Amino acid sequence: MATAKPEEAAASVKTDTTVSNPQFLAAATSPMVQIINDPSLTPPSFSGTQNENCKEWLKYFVRYITLQKLSESAGIALFALLMKGTADTWFSSFSDADRADFQRITTLFEAKYDPAAISLWHRASELWSRNQKPQESVEEFYSDMTRRANEVNVTADMTRYALMRGLRPELRTYVLQQNPTTTTALLEAAKIAEATIF
């Protein structure tokens, strides 16, 4: 498989656009176009390790190819290029028919790289033992905990309890007094406590 960088692949698989149109040439230099073509937005490679979240990776990948308006074949080409290590070996074993169908590829990808049951248990355990770090904002803590809860399909109530348990003690006291009944209410109460205390 080619060893070109992901950003080079992104550039090479974009759909063709007629550049003789003066309006297009003017638009191509606009800040929005420059942002869309920023190489740092290209999805990272995927190696199939336990530390990688296949659903998060795939969600971002689909957003990226949608933003870039890539054709199905171009999206598949970029997907193939981003597979590294054991993931590349896995993708290379596909039949030509499977390799030509993006929906089939994503289905096989999730089936292959969704966390195993033992891994889910470990992630659920980490959710319940995760504490807010001293310099971590409430917003950062909430975002990370919500992502972790989604990974293991935890209910909204259980997510709220895990959030409450992990808050720094000086914030938790105030939040408990507010008795939030949703994760959104908990977040707002914790942000108020954070702004008041610090």
pLDDT for residue 127 is more than 80: yes
Report the top-level CATH class of 117-197.
mainly alpha
Q: Could you tell me the two tokens for 116? A: 């195993």
CA distance linking residue 174 with residue 168, whole number of Å: 11
The set of residues, in sequence order, having a beta carbon less than 8 Å from that of 124 and lying 6+ positions away, is 152, 154
The DSSP secondary-structure symbol of 83 reads: B
pTM for this entry: 0.55
For residue range 46-99, list pLDDT tens digits in order: 998 877 888 889 999 999 999 999 999 999 999 999 999 999 999 999 999 999
Q: What is the pLDDT of residues 167-194, one digit of tens each?
A: 999 999 999 999 999 999 999 999 999 9
The answer to whether residue 2 scores a pLDDT higher than 50 is: no
pLDDT digits (tens, 9 = 90+) for 138-177: 999 999 999 889 878 889 999 999 999 999 999 999 999 9
Contacts of 170 (CB under 8 A, 6+ apart): 193, 197
Q: Per-domain residue ranges for the chain?
A: 6-113, 117-197
9-29 confidence digits (pLDDT tens): 444 444 444 444 444 444 444
